A and B are shown apart, each in its own frame.
Chain A
Amino acid sequence: MTRLTDFTLAQARDALKARSISARELTQAYLDGIAALNPRINAYITVTPELALAQADASDAKLAAGQGGSLEGIPLGIKDLFCTEGVRTTAASRILGEFTPPYESTVSGNLKRDGGIFLGKLNLDEFAMGSSNATSAFGPVENPWSRANDPAKRLVPGGSSGGSAAAIAARLALGTTATDTGGSIRQPAAFCGVAGIKPTYGRCSRFGVVAFASSLDQAGPIARDVTDCALMLNSMAGFDPKDSTSVDIAVPDFAAAVARGVKGLRIGIPREFRMDGMPAEIEALWQQGIAWLKAEGASIVDISLPHTKYALPTYYIVAPAEASSNLARYDGVRFGAREKGADLVELYEKTRAAGFGAEVRRRIMIGTYVLSAGYYDAYYLKAQQVRALIKRDFDLAWEKCDAILTPATPSAAFGLDEKHDDPVAMYLNDVFTVTANLAGIPGMAVPAGLDANGLPLALQVLGKPFDEETVFAVSGAVERAAGFKATPQVMA
């Protein structure tokens, strides 16, 4: 007999509709898994079993009446960067204290509207700043996968959406929300052997999502496979008048696009993504992906994205600059934690020193520096100009191709104790993902194989602005060709 947590989101949806399973039993199965594994994986900061079961009962009533939304009765996890009305929201930071938003983010509200059940709030790097989930004030998340040759070594799930990716891999949620500022959906999805898409900037509302870097942040789903991601995104996406950067454009049927195939599509292969010192396994996977798509009828074109090597330094100016300003509101006056101070300045300085972790403090200070008098032109303005060039590279590439195929990450998941001494080495994790954020284009990570140690590796598909359909079509083709069926060692 199939276990309840074996269903993909699409399968569970059909089983719920057919009344062969109930939302309550499905939800209970996930809550049981969380109770058993979360103490180890630490994917959830907050679990809300009572709320989830109450929602499940309401869903069962709707389903019994032949009603309900597109995600009716589906147990979901929400990254703890999305404000949820009446449920503590932490951004994995001490500074938010017991902050309980009196409002709901648009994206989580859309999922609720469509019948999704919220199991709880998922762990992340503090304020989404990190690539390992090690900066969370609520402890690191453990990757459910481990190395065949070193099973005792605890690995990172990637970040910042490490809780989302680990929860999907360990089957502690059927779908999750995540956000991606420099790779925070795609890199953890790749490390955990699951699928994740960062949509076009402006596709999902940022209203009610704790801001990290406003011009780069974009919400998207992490789920078990490409189709599940499409179903999640169909609910999450949509124009929101409350976000001035939200784009008023129709949301197509993403799930339908997954099966479309790649016949006749031109797939660009950017030569600048072939980095010095890139592991042979990554290169081999990339070549394999190219071969799969060619076999499915796509044509492969060599393209150039000449400013790729400048993307990370650009990102590490733009993102901290915006973050330094976005995080100024955490001052201990209106909400969140407060440290005592003799005067207002001391209150601020102590509150922010105690409330923010080391990486967040570092990025706020870098951001403050690059915006400060005398340095703005050399750093911030220069970075915004390079950013324009990076976007222009893509604009030119779209004249030659319809989608781009690259590796998702430069390596498989690394150890919890690795790469923490040197911030720059940690930043290099985002080398393949960050250009999509700077250019505002959609990108998806699809699990495509295992490395020699049995850890998952992924390919990345990039697309034109607001052409997520082609991204889903190409990702679907890669997924079918790869036939990735491996599961992690730790799983509910």
Chain B
Amino acid sequence: MSYTLEGKTGPWEIVVGLEVHAQVISNSKLFSGAATAFGAEPNSQVSFIDAGFPGMLPTINEVCIAQAVRTGLGLKAEINLWSRFDRKNYFYADLPQGYQISQFAHPIVGKGEIEVSLADGSTKMIGITRLHLEQDAGKSIHDQHPSKSFIDLNRSGVALMEIVSEPDMRSPEEAGAYLTKLRQILRYLGTCDGNMDEGSMRADVNVSVRKAGEGFRTRCEVKNVNSIRFVMQAVEAEALRQIEVWEAGGTVDQETRLFDTNRGVTRSMRSKEDAHDYRYFPDPDLPPLVLEQSWVDALKASLPELPDERRARYLALGLTPYDVHVLTLEKETAVFFETVAKGRDAKLAANWVTGDFFAALNRLKRDISDPPVTAEHLGELLDLLSDNTISGKLAKDVFEIMIETGKSPLVLVEERGLKQVTDTGAIEKVIAEVMAANEGKVAEYRSGKDKLFGFFVGQTMKASGGKANPAMVNELLKKMLA
């Protein structure tokens, strides 16, 4: 059953397309040698090129080109060996050149697609129209002074990838799933950090509504939405607004809107009232961007494993779909898991990572990039478990001590004498003592009271300080009590 919104006149379908601006991970800017780090002092990462000074000229950063191509390959998209930069002309206080250098007519990446997973377990393909490289603008700060806006050009000239989807999404959930998956792919590739709260990833959301079976109606663009949750809310809010307009007999005007996150509604952008005429033309300062097929092939060969491939591989290892999902969501988690699982039982590793380890992360409010127990130590713990050096019960205790001390389980087991006793003679000796101390119970057992077996196991374990190997205790007790 497809998603619809109920209006006075019946159900409405919604149509969503996203334009995502993803900041490229690079040391320096797209066309200048100024740094890209987040959070620097105002105007401290600005070259005269970024500030649009007279006579300044752009030169392109090779890493930004490679990152765009890697992203294109990750989106299974066409790579255009010939692309070109155009100027998009408009005036704004944080646009120093009076134009943005972008790729309008000939983007570096063409059509691709993304498979997204939905809550009901189904999947859907969302088309990618194109990906192009462009410069970011600076930042205007409006709330520091009653009558002035302040301009910081640190962001000016930072490389962005604009990733445009087809209008293939039909619900807030699909929009959220698309953005989640896109973010996951970018982070796997290492081409964008996906930090939406720092603005490294922003979405412009195109929304329209229609009755079943209709063609597209007029769409509105909700600009600069900066979280996945807000994108989903903005889709619904804007769709409801448009339904109300249509049902009141009005028409939706194509316009740019903002999402008010406090009130949960969209509103028209006043400063963008002028009809825009961007007067695109090829940037005469920049010859065409020409790629060698062999260079693209080399990038393709060195591409890291992507989420879909990783999922398939984990499923093949016999992990549960739930474990696969949570282990592959973030690349760092998957890398952690694989370090733990390397040369070990994958299922056991998955149980520990998604179980005790995730619980500890939550409890301690720690992040996978700052784990309370290293993957190597957790792996060692699994080894101790597998070779019967410690019991499952003891392993949980050791794990907690590892969190407290940060020490390797090998060291802890040694230091604290936690090694499981697997010496037959030693266990037999303990059992003999337990039997000697409980002669009456031995007699009862031997006369048929089988239920007492558990009592002897408990006593033996207790007497061994929990270190006796439970399986061996079972086996030897059966023999000695017989």
Contacts and interface: CB of A to CB of B under 8 A. Distances in A.
A324 B287 CA distance: 20
Interface stretch (B15-23, B45-53, B427-435, B467-475): B45-53
B279 A335 contact: no
**A interface SS class:** loop
Interface stretch (B94-102, B199-207, B250-258): B94-102
Given A101-B54, A105-B55, A333 B93 contact: yes
A333 B287 contact: no
Nearest to A207: B57
Contacts, number: 97
A329 B281 contact: no
A434 interface: no
A372 B280 CA distance: 8
Interface string B246-280: 00000000000000000000000000000001011
A368 B279 contact: yes
Interface in A126-168: none
**B interface SS class:** loop
A244 B57 contact: yes
Nearest to A321: B281
A255 to B, nearest CB: 28
B60 A244 contact: yes
B48 A331 contact: no
Contacts of A83: 54-55
A333 B280 CA distance: 23
Interface string A65-103: 000000000000000001100000101000010010111
B48 A96 contact: no
Given A215-B284, A328-B98, A91 B54 contact: yes
Which of A101, A241, A244 gathers the greatest number of chain B CB atoms within 10 Å? A244
Which of B53, B57, B60 gathers the greatest number of chain A CB atoms within 10 Å? B57
A338 B96 CA distance: 15
A329 B98 contact: yes
Interface string B72-116: 000000000000000101010100111100000000000000000
Given A211-B55, A244-B60, A368-B279, A325 B89 contact: yes
Contact of A210 (B54, B87, B89, B279): B54
A373 interface: yes
A266 interface: no
Interface string A319-352: 0011011011101011100000000110010000
Interface string B286-311: 11000000000000000000000000
B180 to A, nearest CB: 37
A99 B48 CA distance: 13
A382 interface: no
Contacts of A242: 57, 59
Which of A83, A103, A333, A372 gathers the greatest number of chain B CB atoms within 10 Å? A333
Contacts of B99: 325, 328
Contacts of B55: 82-83, 101, 105, 206-211
Given A242-B59, A244-B287, A245-B285, A99 B279 contact: no
A373 B48 CA distance: 31
Given A322-B284, A325-B98, A328-B98, A344 B54 contact: no
Contacts of B57: 206-207, 242-244
A28 interface: no
Interface residues of B, number: 29
A146 B85 CA distance: 49
A376 interface: yes
A372 B276 CA distance: 10
Which of B59, B93, B151, B279 gathers the greatest number of chain A CB atoms within 10 Å? B279
Contacts of A331: 91, 98
Given A96-B54, A207-B57, A368-B279, A328 B284 contact: no
A380 interface: yes
Which of A105, A210, A211, A325 gathers the greatest number of chain B CB atoms within 10 Å? A325
A357 to B, nearest CB: 17
Contacts of A344: 93, 149
Contacts of B281: 321-322, 325, 371, 376, 380
Interface string A369-392: 001110010001000000000000
Nearest to A328: B98
A167 B57 CA distance: 29
Nearest to B149: A344
B58 interface: yes
Contact of B54 (A322, A329, A371): A329
A177 B309 CA distance: 61
Interface in A361-415: 368, 371-373, 376, 380
Nearest to A246: B57
Contacts of B280: 371, 376
Contacts of A241: 59
14 contacts: A91-B54, A102-B48, A105-B55, A208-B55, A214-B284, A242-B59, A244-B58, A244-B60, A245-B285, A331-B91, A334-B53, A371-B89, A373-B277, A380-B281
Given A207-B57, A208-B56, 18 more contacts: A91-B54, A214-B284, A243-B59, A244-B59, A244-B60, A244-B286, A325-B87, A325-B281, A327-B98, A329-B53, A334-B51, A344-B93, A344-B149, A368-B279, A371-B89, A372-B279, A373-B279, A380-B281
Interface of A: 82-83, 89, 91, 96, 99, 101-103, 105, 206-211, 213-215, 241-245, 321-322, 324-325, 327-329, 331, 333-335, 344-345, 348, 368, 371-373, 376, 380
In the A-B complex, the 7 residue pairs with the smallest Cβ-Cβ separation, listed nearest first, are A328-B98, A371-B279, A214-B284, A215-B284, A329-B52, A208-B55, A210-B54
Interface of B: 48, 51-60, 87, 89, 91, 93, 96-99, 149, 151, 277, 279-281, 284-287
